[in-house]
Structure 1
């Protein structure tokens, strides 16, 4: 089984870190390939970055010419593009935001998301709402750290996460979610200190993708993700009708 994991930004180092986390979660026999968009934001932080990132990821998958793959994992927490990718490709598409929330709902009544900057909270809340899992979300909290800050100072990242985790628990969270793909790996370091489950979206998405492939399931083509008419699938200049 081959899973393609798409980074939502152009930072290759972050792609490698995400791929490492994905491979650690993958079953034996699953190959994980990382994709980094050739254009777009260096780090997705805000509405404009998110929409640009979505277009870049869609373009990356649309022009992909590597080995065939069995599933796509979208490694951008709260980023746009999920629905577009599901319409574009013929394999299961699992978004880390949605995957983490679904698993968290199996582990506790309410979950909390801990992310980077406060400005990202709105997109995450909207993404959870669209996915139908917002009802169980106790809170979405920012750490005040930019995406690219996460790996430059691990001690600062852990301290900021623990501070936000205390606030999330006070808000009623029984499970915590890592609200950025760049946080992958924190769950192994901090779950024992906090004594409650911490869900990493990258790991969750990989395992759900494997399950869908094993079960022979993929995106429905009836209704929302039905194939558009051929003339609408032309990229570039409009064709004469």
Structure 2
């Protein structure tokens, strides 16, 4: 089985961290390939970044010509999953909804701990669109930017403080609200005494299950194939984009 994991930003170091977590979760016989968009934001934090990221990820999938069996979209709360489901003919699993579905199996209400507060509303909207918002007790920011997550001790301290707020709001399960937090679940869960779900791992296992069961995206209605028409995706290959 071949799973493609798409980073939502252009930071290669984060792609490498994401793929390490994805490969650790993958079962025997599953290969994981990570894709980093060639353009877009270096970190996705806010609506503008998210829409740019969505277009960049879709463009990356559109131009990737190796065979694969499923896509995992590793941007928490970022846009693009619905477009990807129209675009490709294999299952597409978004880490946001994957983590929430897993959390709903472990407790009545879950809480999401993410990066900056500005991302909280966007994540709430994504959870609502996916149909798993009603079980979310809180989405809490750590105050750290995506590119700050490389400082492990600082990230862990900020995560624990934010997670305590989510627990106080009624969360019985915690969700890592950024792909760059992959790996924290092993240490933070013990400190808080709550299950902690990593979206990358959850999405990989769901993708494997869908492929094993022979299931893929329905083409009846919402995710029908895009209408045939001329679409301009950007400058031709080899041609520089216009100045900003």
**Normalization by structure 2: what TM-score?**
0.94
Divergent runs of 4+, >6 A: none
SS in 2 for 1:208: helix
Shift of 1:230: 2.0
SS in 2 for 1:69: coil
Partner of 2:62: 62
What corresponds to 2:92 in structure 1? 93
Equivalent residue for 1:134?
133
Supply the distance in 2 between the matched residues of 1:25 and 1:236 (Cα, whole angstroms): 37
Aligned partner of 2:232 among 230, 236, 239: 236
2:221 is matched with 223
Instruction: Please list every run of 5 or more consecutive structure 2 residues that lacks an aligned counterpart in the other structure.
Output: 234-244
Alignment-derived partner of residue 184 in structure 1: 182
Tell me, in whole angstroms, the C-alpha distance in 2 between the residues paired with 1:227 and 1:80.
Answer: 18
Partner of residue 208, structure 1: 206
Partner of 1:115: 114
1:106 offset after TM fit, Å?
Answer: 0.3
- Taking the aligned partners of 1:181 and 1:35, their CA distance within structure 2 comes to 14
CA RMSD between the two structures = 0.9
Question: How far apart are residue 236 of structure 1 and its match?
Answer: 2.1
1:74-110 CA distance string (max 9 Å, x none): 0000000010000000000000000000000000000
C-alpha distance in 2 between matches for 1:90 and 1:154: 38
Deviation at 1:130, TM superposition (A): 0.1
Aligned length: 233
Per-residue deviation, 1:203 = 0.1
- Per-residue CA distance 1:163-209 (angstroms, 9 max, x = gap): 01111111000000000000000001111111110000000000000
**2-side partners of 1:168 and 1:5: how far apart?**
28
Q: Which blocks of at least 5 consecutive residues in structure 1 are unaligned?
A: none
What is the alpha-carbon distance in structure 1 between the residues aligned to residue 20 and residue 109 of structure 2? 29
